[in-house]
Amino acid sequence: MEIKQVKLVYFSPTGTTRKVLESIAAGIGTSDVEHIDLTLPEGAQQSAPPFSDELVIIGAPVYGGRLPVDAISRFKQLKAGSTLAILIVVYGNRAFEDALLELKDLAVDLGFIPVAGGAFIGEHSFATGDLPIANGRPDSRDVQKSVDLGARIKAMITALPSPDAQVDLEIPGRFPYEGGARAMIVSPALRQDACTVCGTCAGVCPKAAITINGSVVTEVELCIRCSACIKNCPAGARVWEDSMMKKIATWLNENCSVRKEPEIFGIDG
Taking 50 as the pLDDT cut, the residues of the chain under it are none
Per residue in 57-110, pLDDT (tens digit) is 999 999 999 999 999 999 999 999 989 999 999 999 999 999 999 999 999 999
Q: What is the pLDDT of residue 161?
A: 76
Using alpha carbons only, what angle is made at residue 257 by residues 17 and 149, rounded to the nearest 5 degrees? Answer: 35
Query: Secondary structure of the chain: what % helix, strand, coil (to 5)?
Result: 30, 20, 50
Question: CATH number of the domain at 189-241, out of 3.30.70.20, 2.60.120.1440, 3.40.50.2300, 3.40.50.410?
Answer: 3.30.70.20
Question: Which part of the chain has CATH 3.40.50.360?
Answer: 6-177+259-265
User: Does residue 67 contact residue 84 with C-beta atoms inside 8 Å?
Assistant: no
Question: Domain 6-177+259-265, what fold?
Answer: Rossmann fold (3.40.50)
Cα 25 to the chain's mean position, in Å? 15
DSSP letter at 55 equals: E
Task: Report d(CA 85, CA 15) in Å as an integer.
Answer: 20
Task: Report d(CA 96, CA 60) in Å as an integer.
Answer: 11
Question: Which part of the chain has CATH 3.30.70.20?
Answer: 189-241
Q: What is the pLDDT of residue 160?
A: 85
Q: What are the CA-CA distances from residue 119 to residues 35, 87, 152, 169, 264 (Å)?
A: 20, 9, 16, 14, 7
DSSP letter at 173 equals: -
User: Does residue 99 contact residue 62 with C-beta atoms inside 8 Å?
Assistant: yes
User: Does residue 41 contact residue 16 with C-beta atoms inside 8 Å?
Assistant: no
Q: What is the pLDDT of residue 269?
A: 54
Spell out the residues 6+ positions from residue 197 whose beta carbon is closer than 8 angstroms to its own.
212, 214, 215, 216
Provide the whole-model pTM.
0.95
Residue length of the chain: 269
Number of neighbouring beta carbons within 10 Å of residue 122: 27
Task: Report d(CA 21, CA 222) in Å as an integer.
Answer: 27
